[in-house]
Chains A and B, each alone.
Chain A
């Protein structure tokens, strides 16, 4: 009894460790429990074109700041043989390409992939503004500006409201003469932004240009959208320069702040920047693993994910084995199915995963039955045991090769995957089956063969289940839970399902006896 309670304590410990680790990974590291959890990954490509004049070229391009609510996965810089450096400046980063001599049309690329993480909270930039310098306006312009500002000031209580009111007034559908003069009909977006910044500066309010990109799938040749960022004394507020709206826009990435240009080209003309945007769907799991590795979370850093991809794929298979083992335990201990070789069904199931189910079963049956035929001939040759098994292995390989070649000629490429079957195991199976045939008759061969195949198919169905596959690989701790179950099943002393059939004659007898 004491041993039993000790076992249960161990089981409970294992179970709790397993479940605990799973919950930790789910809640603390953000691993999703089901494979369907997807996130959008945006890939933004900035293409910079210009004409080089045959002189030294220096290209300086603003890069988006790293905000805490965005995770940058990859940044690539591509150029035709340019020197490259990344520089950090106040308010952001810039990329700089340079070349001694370049002529003709030139193109460089900057590619960024990012996704929005679950970081909660606002992310206003924390830098302090410089005191605004009063801009120099010409007389007419100045008069118009003062009139407009007076008008706006009369309606506002603080600088936030002032800025919003100013933008709304400038954008009003029926502008006054002053506004029209200030806005200058032919002006572009940049002009308007500068105007607003200057007007605010005139009023003594710090403001700056902010440029960002709306993220929309499949867009090409996009350009940045201008915003005005206003400092209200405590923090920076972002204003849409066309509506005065100060909410942070959705699906938007801030690219550049401050008055610096987006792109500076020295030694080139006709420069232009265009952005294209692609949205990819990626599983959250991939993103989490990647970011956890970057941040060196201990549990992830010392785990299967730190292995090279090739080994990871091998482990993907290996981690499925315990599921197969659990199925075998259930089939043998609870159901009572007889299989030839205890764990042969798992190996068959692994082979089935490679060959797909139907092809795999057909191939298995063909190889084993042909093998049995040939083995029965070999048994007449009076060979020593080890030599006979080796002969069977060669026969199995020959059968596999012929199946592959024949099916290839007929154009079924699937059948070629037969090579995934573990050949030595198959040879052993054939040998054991044929001995079984001689000693216990074909019925026993059928029972055990069918039992093995059935167990293998059930194991296969579980092992190829997307959720099972996902869980075993991403939560290897699940093995502990599995282990706990197997330990419990090891204690099962009840009847097997097959015994209910085996002893059914007894029931009839006993009923008669009681009468």
Chain B
């Protein structure tokens, strides 16, 4: 069957796009707080103030004539990431893993020359990737070092972890793994693999690529059943704390694991997508209802995480682990 019925989806608690926009985004996210997350520089400063670790800022460019300074700015750094400050969905991100002052190499090994990078920067400044084509700012960040845990699960890129936080309670998580098809980007539309992560212990649940279930990474052929995110108990409060930081009630927190510096927040999203439900093979609705039913919102992120771990874990629940069975039947 190519289509499923709305009744079944409702019984799984799947939230649709209209429901998300109406019942979550516009209900919990006041418009005036959007700039806090749409502007990555603002997010970064906010996070630093809240003692949440973020990738190092190497520099910013504000005007077209700053483009001349680019070479000088880049030369001291071996590796870096060029990003538009207001870009969304990973648009306009350029990763350089090494350079010899002549050629700049992307993770795929493609070589770029300085003029090409300069053009990329000037496109960003003109607002190519920003919402509504507004003039933008370029930020240059230090490159995240791939955590060895993920070395078998990623292809030419850094996987990132998306955690949905509702009123400060983490309710669902998904790991986005880069693949050859996604050109090293952690974007599910382009073919990155989405792995549902259990809120209880950080273990992998299900995985999907292009909306279809997969059991191993398409490039490395590594089974996901062995995948568990390390330091899960530290990671969860980090995401939960973003609620206090921004005031946004429905938030997508994007976290990466750096080999040297541990978990870092790279981006916040006020309109997180719904693919996470497919990756988890679970609808958001029951969890949203559970949080909405709470009369009192804990002020301590750690306490909120405890609630989430107790209530939203699939693996730690009393029932026998569902995933094991699923995988065998697959």
Contacts and interface: CB of A to CB of B under 8 A. Distances in A.
Given A333-B18, A496-B17, A505 B278 contact: yes
A506 B322 contact: no
Contact of B211 (A494, A505, A507, A515): A505
A505 B3 CA distance: 9
Interface string A441-458: 100100000000000000
A251 interface: no
Given A336-B17, A495-B16, A510-B12, A500 B278 contact: no
Contacts of B326: 509, 512-513
A385 B126 contact: yes
Contact of B281 (A333, A499, A509): A509
A444 B210 CA distance: 13
B189 A444 contact: yes
A503 B91 contact: no
Interface in B114-139: 115-116, 118-119, 122-123, 125-129
A507 B4 contact: yes
B119 A503 contact: no
A500 B22 contact: no
Contacts of A494: 6, 16, 18-19
Given A385-B128, A439-B91, A512-B329, A505 B23 contact: no
**Which of A336, A501, A504 has the most CB atoms of chain B within a 10 A radius of its CB?**
A504
Given A385-B126, A499-B9, A491 B4 contact: no
Interface residues of A, number: 33
Nearest to A501: B3
B226 interface: no
A435 interface: yes
A496 B3 CA distance: 11
B279 to A, nearest CB: 10
Contacts of B213: 505, 508-509
A386 interface: yes
B9 A500 contact: yes
Contacts of A505: 208, 211-213, 278
Contacts of B274: 499
Given A382-B119, A385-B127, A503-B9, A509 B206 contact: yes
Contacts of A295: none
A504 B1 contact: yes
Interface string A472-515: 00000000000000000001111111011111111111101101
For chain B, the bracket of interface size reads: 35 or more
A384 interface: yes
Contacts of B206: 509
Nearest to B116: A382
A216 interface: no
B189 A440 contact: yes
B323 to A, nearest CB: 9
B305 to A, nearest CB: 26
Contacts of B278: 502-503, 505-506
A384 B330 CA distance: 52
A384 B9 contact: no
B32 interface: no
B5 interface: yes
A441 B119 CA distance: 20
A431 B326 CA distance: 45
A444 B190 CA distance: 9
Nearest to B91: A439
B30 to A, nearest CB: 16
B4 A504 contact: yes
A336 B20 CA distance: 14
Contacts of A497: 3
A502 B189 CA distance: 12
A382 B17 contact: no
Nearest to B124: A385
A194 to B, nearest CB: 84
Contacts of A440: 189-190
A380 to B, nearest CB: 9
B18 A492 contact: yes
Contacts of A499: 9, 14, 16-17, 274
B178 interface: no
Contacts of B129: 435
A495 B64 contact: no
Contact of B329 (A382, A496, A515): A515
A510 B283 CA distance: 11
Contacts of B122: 384-385
B8 interface: yes
B43 interface: no
Nearest to B18: A493
Contacts of A501: 2-4
Nearest to B187: A440
B3 A500 contact: yes
B86 interface: no
B277 interface: yes
Contacts of A492: 18
B72 to A, nearest CB: 20
Given A500-B9, A510-B281, A513-B326, A435 B211 contact: no
Interface string B269-300: 00000100110010000000000000000000
A331 to B, nearest CB: 13
B277 A506 contact: yes
A491 B19 CA distance: 9
Given A385-B126, A501-B3, A513-B326, A507 B8 contact: yes
Contacts of B116: 382
Interface of B: 1-6, 8-10, 12, 14, 16-19, 22-23, 64, 91-92, 115-116, 118-119, 122-123, 125-129, 189-190, 206, 208, 211-213, 274, 277-278, 281, 322, 325-326, 329-330
10 contacts: A382-B116, A385-B127, A495-B16, A501-B4, A505-B212, A506-B4, A507-B12, A509-B281, A513-B281, A513-B322
Interface of A: 333, 336, 382, 384-386, 435, 439-441, 444, 491-497, 499-510, 512-513, 515
Given A502-B211, A504-B2, A512-B330, 7 more contacts: A385-B128, A440-B189, A493-B16, A496-B16, A499-B17, A506-B281, A510-B12
Closest A-B pairs by Cβ, 9 of them: A385-B126, A495-B16, A507-B4, A493-B19, A504-B4, A500-B3, A509-B281, A382-B119, A493-B22
